[in-house]
Structure 1
């Protein structure tokens, strides 16, 4: 009979855990565009097999986050300006729709707490240069929209777009004046949502995306 040593085996990460971690690293540009992903290193870090890592690479590739190049292996996808403009065009339509649905699905006044966060609290973040926290607040707003729009198909499509362009939010709010402009735009969207004006909220959200797109057009060499 084999006796137990009393030691627990090291926890092996689940595929979803590894995927989520790599996705977050790519979105935040901890793994910058062009970075190489090494199977051996990741297998050792997460205590999974190389076959499992390759499966995760396949999922990341399907989502447009990495590409596998012959003789080079897996590298983080580098977006070209044309791709970014196309993503913004799609985001304008889909995010506008999501905002309208989320407004229609929510009682009047139910967005007040979120609207309050985009008040003095957000102004203080921007004034103090705490743009990471402000970017996180924007992301929280987006996640709440996705939850309340109650559309698995729309949510999946938006998640894929956010994964590919999450780093742009952080880059664009560094452009002089953009953070405060964006704050005013988000307040307008939230005010319409809180008052139950679904069509106005959709129009304002689409305007917000167009403004971000224009900012990218002007500063694309700095952002990418």
Structure 2
């Protein structure tokens, strides 16, 4: 990583176009663990960033972050250590801590693992882990879409898309599966936000989602499981073919 393509998050500087990547930090509430609060705040900001739209490295400045949070550097350092264990940041000796961008291979592996978890969730849903009313609630997410046509901005649909897949996982009712999927999908949501605007994927995504809902409503286990798995693996194929920005 070259110094001329590095953005430093938390470092004071003049305002400019690159400030879209500036961490929006508020003082931390002292009623909860400083480390947990710092961890949650940093993770939320990292996940919300469009890290795949720019090739510039994004560095976290520990000292400035501590000042922004209004706490000492120790809980910030602990929070970043936890984020590193979870694969969101990496520490480079004598250089600092940087936000991680997954490689194409790593993203495809994440999606493949997600396909296995979500397809099992679909199976569990059809085997009565979710009520008919819960399954029907999935349709309400698409209230802004009519006759398969997109009636919302892509940014809005991207969030609906993410919530749809998280809901399927939650509706499985399997605590272990839910825990396994949580961190995995946090990584995936960043790449989903980027890919949903590519190659008419939003239109195809809507059609796939409606077919999945119909299979879940019919409690057609084999079809629901297959549709969910193929939908996820379709994203993996798309990344393999078109996501050259991950190389």
TM-score normalised by L of structure 2: 0.77
CA contact (8 A) 1:192 1:198 kept: yes
CA contact (8 A) 2:115 2:233 kept: yes
Deviations 1:142-185 (A, max 9, x none): 33223222223222221111122211111111113110001111
2:237 to 189, 214, 218: 214
How far, CA to CA, are the matches of 2:155 and 2:246 in structure 1?
Answer: 16
Tell whether 2:130 aligns with 1:110.
no
- 64-73 or 20-29, larger mean C-alpha shift: 20-29
CA contact (8 A) 1:131 1:170 kept: no
Runs of 4+ in structure 1 displaced over 6 angstroms? none
- SS class of match (1:111): helix
How far, CA to CA, are the matches of 1:90 and 1:147 in structure 2?
Answer: 17
Structure 1 residue 30 displacement after superposition: 5.2
Provide structure 2 residue ranges, at least 5 long, that are not aligned to the other structure: 1-26
Structure 1 residue 208 displacement after superposition: 0.2
CA contact (8 A) 1:126 1:179 kept: no
Name 2:92's counterpart in structure 1.
69
Aligned pair count?
Answer: 215
Structure 1 residue 205 displacement after superposition: 0.4
Structure 1 residue 21 displacement after superposition: 2.3
- SS class of match (2:132): coil
TM-score normalised by L of structure 1: 0.85
**RMSD over aligned Cα atoms:** 2.6
- SS class of match (1:36): strand
2:169 to 139, 146, 151: 146
Name 2:61's counterpart in structure 1.
38
How far, CA to CA, are the matches of 1:101 and 1:62 in structure 2?
Answer: 30
- SS class of match (1:71): coil
- SS class of match (1:48): coil
Tell whether 2:49 aligns with 1:29.
yes
How far, CA to CA, are the matches of 1:27 and 1:11 in structure 2?
Answer: 21
Structure 1 residue 210 displacement after superposition: 1.2
CA contact (8 A) 2:144 2:152 kept: no
Name 1:195's counterpart in structure 2.
218
Deviations 1:8-51 (A, max 9, x none): x9843743332222222222225667311111111112122211
- What are the equivalent positions in structure 2 for 1:1-224 lying under 5 Å apart? 11-12=29-30, 14-29=34-49, 34-104=57-127, 105-118=129-142, 121-122=144-145, 127=150, 130-222=153-245
